[in-house]
Amino acid sequence: MAEKIDINSTINGQARTLHAFPMERLLDVLREQLSLTGTKEGCGEGECGACSVLIDGQLVNSCLVPVAQVAGCSIKTIEGIAISDDQLHKVQQAFIECGGAQCGICTPGMVIAALSLLEKNSRPSEADIREGLAGNLCRCTGYMKIFESVVRAVRSV
């Protein structure tokens, strides 16, 4: 059986050393070891997007990533996107203003997916927004309020 190893990463801008089994899921290490519980587990199979994080700027499902794979990487979770303790990111603010969140399970992944999209394309078309959110499932809002939230974030640039 594998032993725990030390994995150095930058998480939400802070250098961290994780002590974990190499094949432990990044999702579990974030939630259990670092208490970053904003990243949610929806399906555990990489199908719903609730556990989305950014690794070196790439949108990934953290339930599919062995923690050993993030050695030397920069990881951004939902807890790391606010501008400051007093100011939310424009995507977070738009989700509040448009009612893009209901039960909260998909919201962190949706916000991270929207952020990823806007970092790559600051003026996405409606089709771009739909494609950017396509890997994320929601069972509450019917998607229109989520979509409107991203459109509002785009307009607030």
How far is the C-alpha of 131 from the C-alpha of 121, rounded, in Å? Answer: 12
- In the CATH scheme, what architecture does the domain 90-155 have? Orthogonal Bundle (1.10)
Tokens 């078309």 -> residue: 125
pLDDT greater than 90 at residue 139: no
DSSP H/E element including 95: helix 90-98
* Portions of the chain given CATH number 1.10.150.120: 90-155
Question: Using one digit for the tens of pLDDT, what is the confidence trace for 42-70?
Answer: 999 999 999 999 999 999 999 999 999 99
Q: What angle do CA 83, 89, 92 make, to 5 degrees?
A: 145
pLDDT band at 141 (very low <50, low <70, confident <90, very high): confident
Tokens 């070196």 -> residue: 56
Per-residue confidence (pLDDT) for residue 1, from 0 to 100: 65
Per-residue confidence (pLDDT) for residue 142, from 0 to 100: 74
* Portions of the chain given CATH number 3.10.20.30: 5-79
For residue 94, with 0-12 CB atoms within 10 Å meaning exposed, 13-18 middle and 19 or more buried, which class applies?
Answer: buried
pLDDT band at 129 (very low <50, low <70, confident <90, very high): very high
For residue 125, with 0-12 CB atoms within 10 Å meaning exposed, 13-18 middle and 19 or more buried, which class applies?
Answer: exposed
**What angle do the packed helices 107-120 and 126-133 form, to 10 degrees?**
130
pLDDT band at 140 (very low <50, low <70, confident <90, very high): confident
Phi, psi of 140 (to 5 degrees): -115, -45
Question: Using one digit for the tens of pLDDT, what is the confidence trace for 26-45?
Answer: 999 999 999 999 999 999 99
pLDDT band at 157 (very low <50, low <70, confident <90, very high): low
DSSP annotation of 144 reads: H
Question: Using one digit for the tens of pLDDT, what is the confidence trace for 69-124?
Answer: 999 999 999 999 999 999 999 999 999 999 998 888 999 999 999 999 999 999 99
Give me the half-sphere count of Cα atoms (radius 13 Å) on the Cβ side of residue 124.
24
- In the CATH scheme, what architecture does the domain 5-79 have? Roll (3.10)
How far is the C-alpha of 116 from the C-alpha of 146, rounded, in Å? Answer: 15
